[in-house]
Structure 1
Amino acid sequence: MGKEVVNKQVLFKDYIEGVPKESDMELKSSTIALEVKEGTQDVLLKNLYLSCDPYMRGRMRNFHNSYIPPFAPGSVLQGFVVAKVILSDHPDFKEGDLVSGMSGWEEYSIIPKGKNLTKITRTDLPLSYFVGILGMPGITAYAGFFEVCSPKKGEHVFVSAASGAVGQLVGQFAKLMGCYVVGSAGSKEKVDLLKNKQGFDNAFNYKEEHDLNATLQRHFPEGIDIYFDNVGGSMLDAALVNMKVHGRIAVCGVISQNSFQNAQAIHNINMVIPKRIRLEGFLQSDYAHLYPQFLENVINYIKERKITYIEDVAEGLENAPAAFVGLFHGKNLGKQVVHISDE
């Protein structure tokens, strides 16, 4: 039997309604044997970075009809990670390999049959990028903008939650396409970063705007061609009024609608018909086949300094619950990552 070590874990207590709280999670310690059984194709990981993502709130509800099942009460939370292979019975992975994939919010994880793990071969970039710009948020932004929105040079693009993990990339992809881009964010600091560091043509603090319809009219007097929606609610409602004929809306997230019980009604959906708006929800998993093309293109953008990516890194697994909860209060500045351990 392999050596047993302490394994700190973040457990999910029970189903929630509304915004997650730190008290919905619990830090505990267990033990794990550093071994994998022969013939299982299992892989033992040491987790290095984990990703805090808004979609995880949906998995905290007692709702079983979504694209991904809810967390089981009492289980270890799961999310995207970067990890190092400690032991492997899988032919595609060996000790010392760096991988990305879905794993537990814990120090060590056993991944049955190495399911959904991807080997990281580029070591000339920060490892945390593989749960951000080169991971799920990156392919979400890339596929959502280029495939769902079908952008054309010179079009007018609006991005909500524009300083977040996905939004900051969408805006920069749009600028690379030669579009005019405006973003919304929740603080002066975030607005300044969008305009001064990430090349947005303009940005506004939605918390200081009392009439979102008028705000969008001010920024887009001729209307919006593309709205990349990360928040839903009143922002989507205002965007519908300001869309151009044949505008496109990619619905990526609805973080403003914290539960089905208090979700904000969409009053302007009737605008979809006379304006012939195409409104489409999507999942990044639908575009997994684009990942090699995405990776090559975005790595080139990074190397050529055509894209700036901002991360907010929390230190230690014990701080993961606070970092996750902070997403729903706008506390993160850029992509929220938790650093668990060094390689």
Structure 2
Amino acid sequence: MTHAQPAAAAPRFTTDTPGAPALAAFPRVRPRRGRVTPAVRRMMRETRIDPAQLTLPLFVREGIDEPVDIASLPGQQQHTIDSLRRIAVRAAEAGVGGINLFGIPAHLDAVGSQADAEDGIVQRALRALVPEVGDALVIQSDLCLDEFTDHGHCGVLDADGTVDNDATLERYGAMALAQARAGSRMLAPSGMMDGQIGYLRDVLDANGFQDVLLLAYSAKYASGFYGPFREAVDSQLRGDRRTYQQDPANGREGVREASLDVAEGADIVMVKPAASFLDVLYRVAQTSPVPVWAYQVSGEYAAIEAAAANGWLQRERVIDEAVTGIFRAGADGLLTYWAIELAERLRTGDFAA
């Protein structure tokens, strides 16, 4: 019995030239060509980050003689005014774009009276920072009452314990003038009160502060990722903030909030937190006529630091990947507790992503 021999496989591609060898049956399109060496990867990179796009959140506390470590934010501290100056100088030397200042007063009360006091901790810190680094980076200040009230909410409470939106706006206006007079270049109202950007723009303009920028916390969600921040500012919060911060289930609402803030005069709009709301960040970035920032919040920072401390992931690689993802989603700027480290590694070429 004879067995039929299998026919030789015909080449998938041939040329029209008589006698020319058959072309190899391999792909013509090879995306891997753009990844073959570090130099090629750098050249082909779509998302590029500059240190000037980074803002460092900082905490200054009244009544302390030395910086106090924040246990849930490894590497971060509550600063004295002197130590605040030193780290601000370091941020400027690293090329960081700005610092965003949060104050922790010694005295709390129902209306947050220290928030706009002439000798309030934020105003004193601003007056110390402006001559030190005011020409080297953008000095920003948080504008919210939660650090200053004995109930920990972002506004004034009415008789039934609900945050009174319009009464709170009046307190924000007083804070805005106090911070602007002390030298803040950019105010960051983070309380999520309706109409806050328009109200503050009117107050600032009417008092000669037309050049002070407003960073709108436009899409700020009621998130569980704020936990370590509560320790950082010694929060006295009772209850929660779900009646004024956004429902994490709502994406379209975040886009609407950003649009309202733009219409009211915001110079920058922001999405917070970053990692859980990259879809919102992307949607806002697709439509916003002003720069869009994100805040890589305390819980995002703490989660990566804790996992790295346990050896569960490669610290720098994951930090850089997380930050790159935020910019890839559409952020033009980022508030991050890693701002100095990132800026230094970006400048030396050690950025791992």
The interval holding the TM-score normalised by the smaller chain is: under 0.3
Greater share of residues in strand: 1
Greater share of residues in helix: 2
**Please, what TM-score do these two structures have when normalized by structure 1?**
0.27
**Please, what TM-score do these two structures have when normalized by structure 2?**
0.27
